[in-house]
A and B are shown apart, each in its own frame.
Chain A
């Protein structure tokens, strides 16, 4: 009660100079009048022959800022971007329809992201929560990441409370289940994962406007997962496939990543890196953007060592922030074909 008294005292003090005393933050008559007027203004339904300015709505929603930021910061991923811009368009149209008094329930937004390693599934999911919040589909826009450990219990009766707790935490935001196929183990029929999937299905159906579920994983294993759980597949409206990146896209990703780390490429360095990627992409265990990140990390090491071992002990800002061709040509990837690289002039 101490808090309430304190609040009350504060309200009374601030209310004393503006007419009647407002107790405990209760709305005054003036507040009620204003609210009623606002509600009336919002409730006006347009006539059947009226028109709505979509460009005006679009400006007001701020969706374009979200989309251009996404376009700038993520390379490639045309499929993902077109799906997001469609969602943004739907939101605008729904708002316009509301003006005429036509309402529709929230669209089904559950998604599955499938693709090879390093194609940006997790990165996009992290941004999707914020995006859907800014587009007005999620109330809070936080992201809860869950794996099998968080959802599936260890003994009978342990799974349901665990899964429900995660779901409750994700309410108002996005529930991201990475490597979702681990939930279901086909070879063990007494596995508790099935129970977790059942609860998820129920929530995905009943609490559609409270949370969005995103399942992510490698393409082939997700296909097996969906084949074993057809109910899951049909409750997901957006099956988004993340394509492998082309070498040029990987190059622009590298530029963005290096920029984040505070490095730039010299022209020869970028050419060398490009030929590095062309070789690396052919090799086994190529993990798209993740491999690019690792290559950059190794280049940082070589760059640091080159500066320390160099003849000139003084370095300037440019030297500290610029990758040279030798930082990449030292890679093992070139070991097989060093002569070829030398010929190409690096």
Chain B
């Protein structure tokens, strides 16, 4: 099941040129960027691992792409996303966040239904891959 989180997630995978163009758009708006990765892409897991510190004062997208490439090499089977932060007063939030790498095989999520009192049902989602210890999830084979 293909995970759809962040901007552009319903589009076909972005090529590196397209990623560079999107990063360029962020830099033109003055948004600093950061790279994050995880192997626990639960929809409620907002805080992914940081790949280095956020990058300030960059002028050219090649600098961010350098970190994306380094992160891809280090974690070939993880999800990687690029975040752009808009620090302007009144917004001060993530302006753009999109996935730049996903594992080759995504098993998806199981929906758990729990019957509780008064015939209520509670739902929770559980990633099939989360059964493996972190680092072994989404591995090839």
Using a CB–CB cutoff of 8 Å, the interface residues on chain A facing chain B are 2-3, 139-140, 142, 161, 164-165, 167-169, 171-173, 207, 210-211
Contact = CB atoms under 8 A, between A and B. Distances in A.
B91 A171 contact: no
Nearest to A2: B91
B58 interface: yes
A337 B60 CA distance: 57
Contacts of B21: none
A169 B66 contact: no
A171 B64 CA distance: 9
Given A168-B55, A168-B66, A207-B66, A139 B60 contact: yes
A172 B91 CA distance: 28
13 contacts: A2-B91, A140-B59, A161-B53, A165-B55, A167-B63, A168-B58, A168-B67, A169-B58, A171-B59, A172-B61, A207-B62, A210-B60, A211-B62
Contacts of A168: 55, 58, 63-64, 66-67
Interface in B55-113: 55, 57-64, 66-67, 86, 91, 95
A210 B59 contact: no
A210 B57 contact: no
Given A139-B62, A168-B64, A169-B57, 7 more contacts: A168-B63, A168-B66, A169-B63, A171-B58, A171-B66, A172-B59, A172-B63
Interface of B is mostly: mixed
A211 B66 CA distance: 13
Given A161-B52, A168-B67, A169-B57, A210 B62 contact: yes
A2 B61 CA distance: 25
A172 B95 contact: no
Contacts of A167: 63, 66
B99 to A, nearest CB: 18
Contacts of A139: 60, 62
A171 B60 contact: yes
* Chain B CB within 10 Å, residue with most, of A2, A140, A168, A173: A168
B88 to A, nearest CB: 10
Interface string B15-55: 00000000000000000000000000000000000001101
> What are the nearest 9 A-B pairs in CB distance?
A172-B60, A168-B63, A171-B63, A171-B60, A210-B62, A171-B62, A140-B59, A169-B57, A172-B59
A142 B95 contact: no
* Chain A CB within 10 Å, residue with most, of B58, B60, B67: B60
